[in-house]
A = this chain, B = another copy of it.
Amino acid sequence: MNDSEDTNGLKLSKPTGDFEGHALPGSFLLILGLWWSSLSILKFVCKQKKETFYLGSKALIHRAKFLEGIVLVGMVITGISGLQIFADSSEIQFLRILRLHHITIYIFFGLLGVANILCATISSLPASLIKLMLSNAFFVQTFIFYNHTHGRDTVDIFLHKLLGLAAFLAGLVSFMEVLTKNNAILELLRSSLIILQGSWLWQLGFILYNPTGGPAWDLKDRNNNMLLSIYFCWHYAFTFIIIGVNYAVITWLVKWRLRKLCLAEVTLLKNAEREQESGDEM
C-alpha cells in the first residue's frame, strides 16, 4: 500500500481533505472522551462514598445514557451533512471513495447512538450491547484507516496509522469492558485513548492542512515519522494529566457541592421506598 504511483496515474498534488474535516470529528471525540471520563470518575467516587449516594447517581447515569444517544446521533448527522455539503460535485472517483470512508465511520458511531437510545428505553436489552457497539465503531474505524491512505506520502500514512492504532486500542479496551463489568480502570483507559484520538486529529489537521499558513512539513521525510512518534507519546501523556485534573475536580465537586443535591435526592428515593413499603403493607 506504500507505493504512490498507481492511483489511476493521478499524482495527488496536495493531501486530500481539509482542516475542518479533521477538526470536527476531533472535537467530537474530545467531548466524548471528557464526558465519559467524567462519568466514570463520578461513578467511581460515588461508589466509594456511600451506597445510597451511588444509587442516586446510577439513576442519573441511566437518564444520561438516553441523552448521550441523542447527542451522538446529532453529531453523526452534523458530520455526514458537513461532508456532503462541502463535497465538490466534480470530484474524481478517488475522492468520492475517501468521503465514503468517512461516512462509513460516522454510520457506525450512529449505530452506537441508536444502541444507546434502545438500551435506555428497552430495559430487557443487555447493557453490554452499548460497549459492543462502541468497540465495533472503533474496530471499523481502524479497518477503514488501514485501507484509507493508499498512494499518499509517508508522513501522511504514518499520521493515519497512529490514529488507527489509538482507535484499535480503544476498540480492544471497549471489548474487554463487554466481558468484565464496571472496571473503573478500563473505563478511564478507554476515555484516555478517545481523548488521544481527538487531540491527534487536531494535530493531524495542523500538520497536513495548516490553517495558520505556517511552514509546511516535508511529508516525504522519514525523520519526521520518528519525530511524530514522540509527539504521539506526549499527546498520550497529556491525556493522563487531563484525566488526573478531571479526577481532582470531580472529587472536590462531589465533596463540597453535590453533597446537598444528592442528600435531597436520597431523601426523595427514601420517601419513594417508604411509600412503596407502605403500599406493600396494605
Task: Assess whether A104 is in contact with B230, with CB atoms less than 8 Å apart.
Answer: yes
- State whether the Cβ of A178 lies closer than 8 Å to any Cβ in chain B: yes
State whether A237 and B108 are in contact (beta carbons under 8 Å apart), knowing that A48-B124, A132-B189 are contacts in the complex: yes
Task: Assess whether B223 is in contact with A7, with CB atoms less than 8 Å apart.
Answer: yes
Task: Give the contacting residue for A236; candidates B140, B226, B236; CB below 8 A.
Answer: B140
| Chain B residues positioned under 8 Å from A221 (CB to CB) | 8
- State whether the Cβ of A12 lies closer than 8 Å to any Cβ in chain B: no
Contact with B along A55-67 (1 / 0, CB 8 A): 0000000000000
Task: Assess whether A126 is in contact with B226, with CB atoms less than 8 Å apart.
Answer: no
- State whether the Cβ of A270 lies closer than 8 Å to any Cβ in chain B: no
Total residues of chain A contacting the partner, CB 8 A: 54
State whether A237 and B107 are in contact (beta carbons under 8 Å apart), knowing that A144-B229, A226-B147 are contacts in the complex: yes
- State whether the Cβ of A23 lies closer than 8 Å to any Cβ in chain B: no
| Chain B residues positioned under 8 Å from A129 (CB to CB) | 185
Q: Mark the stretch among A24-32, A72-80, A94-102, A205-213 that contacts chain B.
A: A94-102
| Chain B residues positioned under 8 Å from A233 (CB to CB) | 104, 107-108, 140, 143-144
Sample (23) of A-B pairs whose CB atoms are under 8 Å apart: A1-B222, A7-B222, A7-B223, A8-B221, A44-B126, A45-B124, A48-B124, A97-B223, A97-B226, A98-B226, A100-B230, A101-B230, A104-B230, A107-B237, A128-B185, A136-B236, A143-B232, A148-B226, A150-B222, A150-B223, A151-B222, A178-B185, A179-B180
